[in-house]
Chain A
Amino acid sequence: MAMLEIRDLQVYYGMIHAIKGISFDVREGEVIALIGANGAGKTTILHSVTGLIPVKSGQILFEGNDITKVPAHKIVSMGMAHVPEGRRVFSQLTVYENLKMGAYTRKDKNEIRESLEMVYKRFPRLEERKNQIAGTLSGGEQQMLAMGRALMSKPRILLMDEPSMGLSPIFVAEIFDIIQSVAAGGTTVLLVEQNAKKALEIADRAYVMETGTIALSGEAAELLDNDMIKKAYLGE
């Protein structure tokens, strides 16, 4: 059974038909890449899954439960965390306060502290800067904070929207290393990326989107070799 299953999803923004009947699935333990050009609808899909925008029709199943109409604030405690596009850290709160916000729905103080230590271990920079106001972090540090914040909810599946956007190559490499190690730790990952090469390198499978539909899908390794992908997304 798929961990996350999207069935014939349709999403509109007013008159704009942004997602035109998309189906795909993510199995437990996989890293799935969702790639595609600007405006293809990648962010819209993640927003639909976590309830930030309403869907017109179709179904979203998470671990067998229909979450199509579940409000956004009830999603995270079900075990799904979303690192949004543009990071969206709480810029006026400190790093530590942001991380605590990630554990908002959790009750057990000891478990929260364990998660915090785990996040600090994964992102030593965040620990060094735990009392810094998040808005003053560099872009790469903010990305780490957004990821750390999401991990504070101890998710079974992590949705990430363009974590490499606007980062220098060194940071990009670091972020991708972290994504891999999170996945190796047993967290399922759905990764939206413009950086198709990097995404395909760490993914098990991938879906390629084009203006609201899925144009292509398959094993990530095969897609890396696909001529059309090479031309359109890998710049070769």
Chain B
Amino acid sequence: MGTMSFLSYLINGISLGSVYAIIALGYTMVYGIAKMLNFAHGDVIMIGSYVVLTAMTSYGMNPLLAVGIAVIFCTLLGILIEKLAYKPLRNAGSPLAVLITAIGVSYLLQNIALLIFGANMKSFQSVIGTKQIPLLGGDLLVSMTTIVTILSCVIIMLVLTAFIKRTKAGQAMLAVSEDQGAARLMGINVNGTISLTFAIGSGLAAIAGVLLCSAYPSLTPYTGAMPGIKAFVAAVFGGIGSIPGAFIGGILLGVIEILSKAYISTQLSDAIVFAVLIVVLLVKPTGILGKNIQEKV
């Protein structure tokens, strides 16, 4: 029985970690390419979830269509945020101004949601369904949501990796992340590449939102804040700027969180997560897969 419950916690941890990983991808890609921390990223998740909820309950759309609309909506939202809030500051030469603006955008999104949807918790009807799948001869029950979440994360990772390795736009992203000036000399439109990065990250945030709310079916304007911060931690954990790092960091974070909740203390789980982060950063300041940044002469 002990092993079964451990396995079940582990799978739940991987599932939660998958959500963190998908969110962390947005953080890490934007950081790698635009060299900024987009603290509004978590709130895009929340917006995406409200879009799905509205599409399904007010317009009676089927779940898949609703998710598709949320992805498109968040993609456009991400592009818009970048254009209006961050791009004007890009050459101002102050990373702090961008950071503060990102925090401002975060509050703005939360307050817009508050205005439209109110502060009351809305119950989110799982897009995936609540079916339980018996595994290992019925000893282990795993929900469909959990399986879909883990699968989504794996597919997203594979597609994204192939996109970056194989397409011209993906290679342009790598070039911009390494040296914007040299990238421009190659003919790469840096602004366009940054815009694309925000688009991808925000589209993924919508998917993360749907998965998160399907597992934890309550939605408020602040739903995105904590997972956003955790995913940021996951990105740092794995090595900010690194895509496989976001994946590993996210999964680890989810597993540590769920196992701490199960075996140590529900209240302390977040503290434990952050403690582990601190230890990892003490041992390896660039995160698990982070590259040591070499100063060029």
Contact = CB atoms under 8 A, between A and B. Distances in A.
Contacts of B7: none
B178 interface: yes
Contacts of B45: none
Contact of B178 (A51, A82, A92, A104): A92
Contacts of A29: none
Nearest to A135: B294
B184 A72 contact: yes
The contact size tier of chain A is: 20 to 34
B174 A88 contact: no
Interface string A63-79: 00000000111111100
Contacts of B186: 73, 76, 101-102, 104-105, 149, 153
B94 to A, nearest CB: 14
Contacts of B188: 73, 104
Interface in A79-113: 81-82, 84, 86, 88-93, 97, 100-102, 104-105
Contact of A52 (B174, B175, B184, B187): B184
A51 B190 CA distance: 13
Given A52-B181, A88-B182, A91-B178, A104 B297 contact: no
B284 interface: no
Given A86-B296, A88-B179, A104-B168, A76 B185 contact: yes
A90 B187 contact: no
B171 interface: yes
Contact of B187 (A86, A91, A97, A104): A104
Contacts of A88: 179, 181-182, 296
Contacts of A102: 186
Please classify the interface of chain B as helix (H, G, I), strand (E, B), loop, or mixed, using the class held by over half of its residues. helix
A74 B171 CA distance: 18
A16 to B, nearest CB: 15
A73 B189 CA distance: 6
Given A52-B181, A90-B174, A90-B179, A76 B187 contact: yes
Nearest to B91: A54
Given A84-B185, A90-B179, A97 B190 contact: no
Nearest to B296: A86
B187 A73 contact: yes
A90 B175 contact: yes
A90 B184 contact: no
B185 A52 contact: yes
A50 interface: yes
Nearest to A52: B181
A153 B184 contact: no
B220 to A, nearest CB: 41
Contact of B190 (A73, A77, A86, A92): A73
B185 A90 contact: no
B172 interface: yes
A101 B190 contact: no
Nearest 7 Cβ contacts at the A-B interface: A105-B187, A72-B184, A88-B182, A76-B187, A104-B186, A104-B187, A73-B184
27 contacts: A51-B184, A71-B184, A72-B181, A72-B184, A73-B186, A73-B187, A73-B188, A73-B189, A73-B190, A75-B185, A75-B187, A76-B186, A81-B185, A84-B182, A84-B185, A86-B296, A89-B182, A90-B182, A92-B178, A93-B171, A93-B174, A97-B171, A100-B171, A101-B171, A101-B186, A105-B186, A166-B297
Interface of A: 50-52, 71-77, 81-82, 84, 86, 88-93, 97, 100-102, 104-105, 149, 153, 166
Given A52-B184, A74-B187, 18 more contacts: A73-B187, A75-B187, A76-B187, A77-B187, A82-B185, A84-B181, A84-B182, A84-B185, A88-B182, A88-B296, A90-B175, A90-B179, A92-B291, A93-B174, A93-B175, A97-B171, A104-B172, A153-B187
